[in-house]
């Protein structure tokens, strides 16, 4: 069975901008990892940048094209199964997601509803994967605060930080 | 910056450091060497070698692969062409940072740098910082990448 690697958008965005996404994903595959992302993260990688490219195209066509190239690289990786989309079971993990939101809102004194979905979904996905097989989950992100939040939920998931960029 | 000129700048930054340039030169003769051997041959401390290799890989002038649990390093193919025009293109073409500067001015840049410091210290998540700046996560990460706040 492949080692499950939950990767945050920050890593995938930077790699796709540098045109090294496929190289990274192929390397991870060779090392025995299956790269997984929750659906909220797919929206950050595809839907939001596409909208952004449309909004800036008139003034910044070069940048708009560059964004779309990055989106295309992500889409291809999903089609080639180098990145697998996972759905978080909200019914089962709603309490956990609320707790993550609460934790994050304390971090920056923001109301819970202002917390973007990506952070709680990433942690919920890791817990979901762990509970399914009771095997260690690997996590890769550049975001130190997110890693600190992960640590607060270590009683729910056995995980290991995997190399980032 | 266009993809090509952005690459020119990142290559320039790496080969501008003579120690890193020596690593590239050494690897082109001794392809597939590991970090420890590189350190021994070039006389650099191992943590420094790892730091340099991370930066060289991020700039795509060096690549690596794991064989028998050992990471081996190779030089990537690159050719550097620098001219006044290519430098002008590299620094003046469209970037998220330029757009952001046009929109929010120098005060906006100061605010961005402050938030970049906070995320780098782990005081808030990238998504929280993006939300405070009222931008998408993609924009925020791209800005961090352009100001060199990612690895």
Name the residue in chain A with its Cα closest to that of B93.
Answer: A62
CB within 8 Å: B138 and A119 = no
The dihedral through the CA atoms of A76, A45, A82, B144 has a sign that is: positive
Nearest residue on chain A to B134, judged by CA atoms? A114
Tell me which chain B residues have a C-beta less than 8 angstroms from the C-beta of A100: none
Q: Please, what is the average pLDDT of chain B?
A: 86
Total number of domains in chain A: 1
- Report the CATH number that the domain containing residue A106 is assigned in CATH: 3.40.50.1010
B138 Cβ under 8 Å from any chain A Cβ: yes
ipTM (interface pTM): 0.90
Question: Residue B100, exposed/middle/buried by CB under 10 A (0-12, 13-18, 19+)?
Answer: buried
Q: Which residues of B touch A63 (CB under 8 A)?
A: 94-96, 99
A121–B contact, CB cutoff 8 A: no
> What's the CA gap between B145 and A53, in Å, rounded?
18
Q: Does A20 touch chain B (CB under 8 A)?
A: yes
How far apart, in whole angstroms, are the C-alpha atoms of residue B125 and residue B115? 10
pLDDT for B4 beyond 60: no
* CB atoms B150 and A142 under 8 Å: yes
Across the range B14-19, mean pLDDT stands at 90
Residue of B nearest to A49 (CA): B138
Q: In this model, does residue B121 exceed pLDDT 60?
A: yes
Query: Is residue B1 predicted with pLDDT exceeding 60?
Result: no
pLDDT of residue A114: 59
pLDDT, tens digit (0-9, with 9 covering 90-100), for B59-87: 889 999 999 999 999 999 888 878 887 77
Q: Is the Cβ pair A62, B94 closer than 8 Å?
A: yes
How confident is residue B3, by pLDDT bands cut at 50, 70 and 90?
very low
CA distances from A140 to A9, A162, B61, B140 (A): 9, 5, 23, 18
A65: closest chain B residue by CA: B2
Domain B3-75 belongs in CATH node 1.10.10.10: yes
B131 at A interface, C-beta within 8 A: yes
Is B51 in the A-facing interface, judged by CB distances under 8 Å?
Answer: no
Range of the domain at A104: 3-161
A119 to B65: CB separation less than 8 angstroms, yes or no: no
Distance CA A5, CA A122 (A): 11
Contacts for B98 with CB less than 8 Å, ≥ 6 apart: none
Q: What distance in Å separates residue B48's CA from the closest CA in chain A?
A: 17
The residue that leads in pLDDT, B147 or B88, is B147
- pTM attached to this predicted model: 0.70
What is the pLDDT at residue A105?
83
- Inter-chain residue contact B141 with A9, CB threshold 8 Å: yes
The structural domains of chain B, with segments of one domain joined by +, span: 3-75, 94-146
pLDDT, tens digit (0-9, with 9 covering 90-100), for B24-55: 999 999 999 999 999 999 999 999 999 999 99
A142 touches chain B (CB under 8 A): yes
Q: What is the pLDDT along chain A (165 residues), one digit of tens a residue?
A: 789 999 999 999 999 988 899 999 999 999 999 999 998 888 899 999 999 999 988 778 888 888 999 999 999 999 999 999 999 999 999 999 999 988 888 876 566 665 678 889 999 999 999 999 999 999 999 899 999 898 988 888 888 887 766
- Nearest to A75, CA basis, from A43, A52, A118: A43
* B127·A114 Cβ contact <8 A: no
| Residue B95: per-residue pLDDT | 85
């Amino acid at each position: 069975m492949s080692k499950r690697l939950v990767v945050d958008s920050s890593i995938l965005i930077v790699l796709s901008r540098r045109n090294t996404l496929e190289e990274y994903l192929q390397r991870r595959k060779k090392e025995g990892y299956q790269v997984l992302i929750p659906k909220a993260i797919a929206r950050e990688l595809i839907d939001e940048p596409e909208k952004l490219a449309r909004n800036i195209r008139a003034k910044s066509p070069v940048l708009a094209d560059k964004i779309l190239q990055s989106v295309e690289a992500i889409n291809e990786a999903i089609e080639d199964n180098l990145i697998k989309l996972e759905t978080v079971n909200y019914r089962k993990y709603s309490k956990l997601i609320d707790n993550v939101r609460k934790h994050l809102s304390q971090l920056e004194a923001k109301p819970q509803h202002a917390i973007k979905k990506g952070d709680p979904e990433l942690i919920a996905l890791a817990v979901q994967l762990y509970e399914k097989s009771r095997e260690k989950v690997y996590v890769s992100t550049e975001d130190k605060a997110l890693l600190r939040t992960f640590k607060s939920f270590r009683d729910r998931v056995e995980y290991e930080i995997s190399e980032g960029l | 910056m266009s993809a090509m000129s952005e690459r020119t700048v990142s290559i320039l930054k790496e080969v501008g450091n003579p120690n890193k340039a020596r690593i590239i030169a050494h690897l082109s003769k001794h392809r597939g060497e590991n970090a420890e051997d590189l350190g021994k041959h070039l006389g650099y401390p191992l943590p420094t070698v790892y730091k340099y290799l991370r930066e060289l890989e991020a700039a795509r002038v060096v690549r690596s692969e794991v064989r028998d649990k050992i990471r081996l390093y190779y030089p990537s193919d690159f050719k550097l062409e620098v001219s006044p025009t290519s430098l002008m293109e590299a620094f003046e073409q469209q970037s998220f940072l330029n757009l952001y500067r046009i929109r929010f001015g120098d005060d906006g840049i100061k605010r961005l740098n402050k938030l970049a410091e906070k995320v780098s210290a782990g005081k808030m998540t990238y998504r929280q910082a993006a939300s405070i700046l009222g931008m998408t996560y993609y924009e925020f990460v791209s800005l961090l990448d352009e100001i060199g706040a990612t690895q």
